[in-house]
Homo-oligomer: A and B are copies of this chain.
């Protein structure tokens, strides 16, 4: 596989006179890809039905003639004002019942049929015009589904579609109508007299007096995710009918409100938008001390996690579609990256298997919302620092060996449905599925391990020495069996299998794993200031389960409660562990699995490919390692020979 670089470009923002020079400078910097078009609807179709393709024809031609390959975006994330005038009901509605207005982007409800018609129309026109264009080498659907909290809408359109969705979920055998009694029973609506006599009785679960039924809330989360999948599929079907170029979507970091695997199943490439400094400030969820220590470098695991996640979403084909090139404009604080970090982030993506890394954006915009988002060029077209580091990567890539597919020794299951279940019912303030998974992932990384992320419906595990499946609130019997029958060391829990498919506690009590005699008798959530110490170091933090059963207690609290129980290679973890506890658990399972671990210094991370081991220094100080001293932002590649 060839590794390539690219950038995001907005020809509509600049006089056509400078396009050719921009293209030349891109090629000179070693870029292969240029993504365009995804916000240009008002220039393509300034009025309803009045198409204006000439500028876009020309832009693609100029870029293509210069030797660049174009990624063409569908413009559906930014419908022009006239689209809203045609469909005044297309706006998403927030949890307070307020429609979210025109004037920025993503101002649409996924359930609005009128807007979906407009999307179908414009994407068809775009695909017809450029589906066979030799310079259009890939497509992008829409832009950052879910960004700005846009998956969930409490509109009337969403309400009606949700009712329809529920009828289908609870269909009567042999008929089309839904079975409302089945829903009432599955959700336990007898509780608090919430029983419905018809699907049209069911409202969206906002503005209730106290929390809604978690079954109701989870169903609405699943429905909302399915609306995104359906919306995207309309576009991917059209594009595929007109073009053989691969289709991507650019996902955004820590957006979990829809199932990326399901969207990804309709696409050829997964890509994501990687903003290490912005994310550390606004969504990693680290302590202020950690945020301070990595303020100019970004969290050392957050990007790696997403790289591994999107490798799974893209079934091994994945890109970074937008790479932070300098300070951004949207985080609470927006510092300048440490010199070298743009190069480090790029190489890190390649180490995790990326095909391409595209810098966002080519030239800093002097106007509108992102005018303080830096680019590869300054607003006055002078080189910004990012282009210098990109040129260095480009030169290094030319001298680097080709990448070979690589399978990591450890697999971690990431399940969007579980994230929604935790969000609906966290039990303890601030507990989240993403947090649990990321804490687990960080422990694996501290141990020097490369990790593969797996979707929840995986059933072939034989390539892995270790599989971790924490927090998967609902597990099918098939999943349980596949894991239990695996030859790997398998760690399940906490909260895994805790609910049936409708968010109800099953009987027999969880986790009900084959051949493992463990029962969760009671659960508790803990204040952050009341960790429960483990016998031998580390502690339970935040969440604890009282378990019973005859399985071996491999880890215990000081008071003697079992925390990790196993029967041979199948383990149940009955708690959320702090970092030292996680390290102990990982060490213990690795030992059983015969996987060698290291204890990496703070800020140092490694990642293996089939032929090389990459070493990265995410810290601001030089650090001695077994491959020598790494300067801040250093990237060291060591051949595995």
A positions within 8 Å CB-CB of B:
10, 12-13, 39-43, 46-47, 75, 78-82, 85, 92, 96-107, 147-148, 150, 187-197, 201, 203, 205-216, 281, 288, 291-292, 295, 326-327, 329, 332-336, 364-372, 374, 378-380, 382, 384-385, 425, 427-429, 504-509, 521-527, 529-530, 544, 546
Contacts and interface: CB of A to CB of B under 8 A. Distances in A.
Counting chain B CB atoms within 10 Å of each CB, which of A196, A329, A522 scores highest? A522
Nearest to A45: B193
Contacts of A102: 194, 203, 208
Nearest to A39: B192
B104 A211 contact: yes
Given A81-B197, A201-B81, A509-B379, A210 B525 contact: no
A385 B548 CA distance: 13
Contact of A292 (B206, B210, B529): B529
Contact of A334 (B81, B208, B366, B428): B428
B524 A327 contact: yes
B190 A369 contact: no
Given A81-B195, A101-B206, A378 B521 contact: yes
A507 B203 CA distance: 53
Given A96-B98, A193-B41, A193-B80, A505 B208 contact: no
Contacts of A101: 203, 206-209
Contact of A187 (B191, B216, B367): B367
Given A428-B332, A522-B374, A530-B292, A508 B380 contact: yes
Nearest to A427: B372
Nearest to A205: B103
Given A507-B379, A526-B335, A191 B372 contact: no
Nearest to A329: B427
Contacts of A429: 332-333
A209 B107 contact: yes
A194 B103 contact: yes
Given A103-B205, A213-B368, A335 B292 contact: no
A96 to B, nearest CB: 6
Given A47-B197, A105-B210, A292-B530, A505 B191 contact: no
A213 B508 CA distance: 56
A-B complex: 3 closest residue pairs judged by Cβ atoms? A188-B367, A191-B368, A42-B193
A530 B43 contact: no
A270 B546 CA distance: 36
Contact of A42 (B190, B365, B369, B382): B190
A631 to B, nearest CB: 16
Contacts of A196: 81
A542 to B, nearest CB: 8
Given A212-B104, A367-B215, A522-B327, A78 B427 contact: no
A325 to B, nearest CB: 11
Counting chain B CB atoms within 10 Å of each CB, which of A10, A197, A368 scores highest? A368
